[in-house]
A and B are shown apart, each in its own frame.
Chain A
């Protein structure tokens, strides 16, 4: 059996974090290949259902990226995102999902370097805690299926 590799979902806002990822690419800052980006119009578009679905389908970590306060393209999307995320994290904590598995950070379009750092840190954090207990129908021990 191949070595376990984490599966990471990044929910990135179109206007900041996704642009940050683009810039990281242009500047040739590397970030781990375990990160799978889902582009959403705004961090306010992310639903707690997305994270629950990702965890259920076997993601080992979910990272939500949005614009800094005051920078939101739609003015208040990120204010909604942080409240939803805070409440979701409490629920996930009660359900026994480690806090490190879900993270939220504001990464602007000009922060290509920070994007690459954040992804490397998140990947290292997920590797440190191991496979998600919800992966493979809650049995744990998800195997590498990134290339499937």
Chain B
């Protein structure tokens, strides 16, 4: 059998997903000879987008797309990837649900650009110049930049996606499991997440029910900025709003292990359609008193930390405030 052809593309992301592949370290040494990596841009291989465009359609066996759709260029490259790949995987939470930058869907395009280019505390832009899609340099060179689209999209809002893989970035053990699944052809039904199906709570050592105790209700809401968990017990019981109950536990519960509440980068456990909405449901039901609801800081950004573009409502629709200079 010939080696499977693989392509990696980084769109609107940070490159952390590419790093998680490199993090396979010695396992990667065994895996690489079994793969024919035809494209890995822009992080690793010296290839250009036009090289991908020149490949025949459906010539690549597995395509991994990391990062969200932020620019019109990302939309274009996502469509090219779809045309060239037999199986397209949304790799990492940005491609799957929008990722951390998905919180930009709570703001207008204009105010995002103005905050970044005009009102930043260290910004020196007296003329108030904002990025343009076209500009003329030295009076003769016309340069083009991709356009910043009004709101972030997930990969599956642009093209059809065969599989999703959560994590910001995916934990390297999970990447190893996913690569093995791809190489041996043991993939789940198309359209599903590649996951072991367990929640973070399921693999978390702090879970009271796996220690033979009964779960207590939340009696106060705490933030990690004002203190740190005092015990080895469940973070939710203590009042730190951990989203472990509904997040995929392929990471092995890395964050709760080091006193950080889960924020759900792994994506939703199977059966959940809208991560943020189900997080509300799971957390609110654990509150001891109704009044605690008002103590949750910035609930939309807390429950949709990684999933706003991929949620049912997807973005903020009204009640925008104008942007002000940061102090």
Which A residues have a C-beta under 8 Å from some C-beta of B?
47-49, 52-53, 55-56, 79-80, 82-84, 86-88, 90-91, 93-97, 133-134, 138
Contacts and interface: CB of A to CB of B under 8 A. Distances in A.
Contact of A52 (B277, B296, B299, B318): B277
A87 B293 contact: yes
Nearest to B304: A91
Interface stretch (B86-94, B182-190, B283-291): B283-291
Interface in B285-323: 285, 287, 290, 292-294, 296, 298-300, 303, 311-320
B134 interface: no
B293 A97 contact: no
Given A86-B290, A134-B313, A96 B320 contact: yes
Given A48-B281, A87-B296, A138 B317 contact: yes
Nearest to B318: A96
B316 A86 contact: no
B276 interface: yes
B280 interface: yes
A80 to B, nearest CB: 5
B274 A91 contact: no
B316 A95 contact: yes
Contact of B299 (A56, A91, A96, A138): A91
A58 to B, nearest CB: 13
A52 B276 CA distance: 10
Nearest to A92: B313
A79 B290 CA distance: 8
A26 to B, nearest CB: 33
Contacts of B294: 86, 90
A96 B280 contact: no
Given A88-B280, A96-B319, A83 B285 contact: yes
A84 B284 contact: yes
B285 A91 contact: no
A94 B312 contact: no
A97 B274 CA distance: 18
Nearest to B308: A95
Contacts of A133: 317-318
B313 A95 contact: yes
Given A47-B277, A96-B318, A83 B290 contact: yes
B41 interface: no
B319 A48 contact: no
B205 interface: no
Contact of A94 (B274, B278, B284, B300): B300
A94 B301 CA distance: 9
**Interface hub of B294, B311, B312 (most chain A Cβ within 10 A):** B312
A68 B188 CA distance: 45
A55 B319 CA distance: 17
A56 to B, nearest CB: 5
Contacts of A49: 273-274, 277-278, 281, 312
A52 B316 contact: no
B285 A84 contact: yes
Contact of A91 (B278, B303, B320): B303
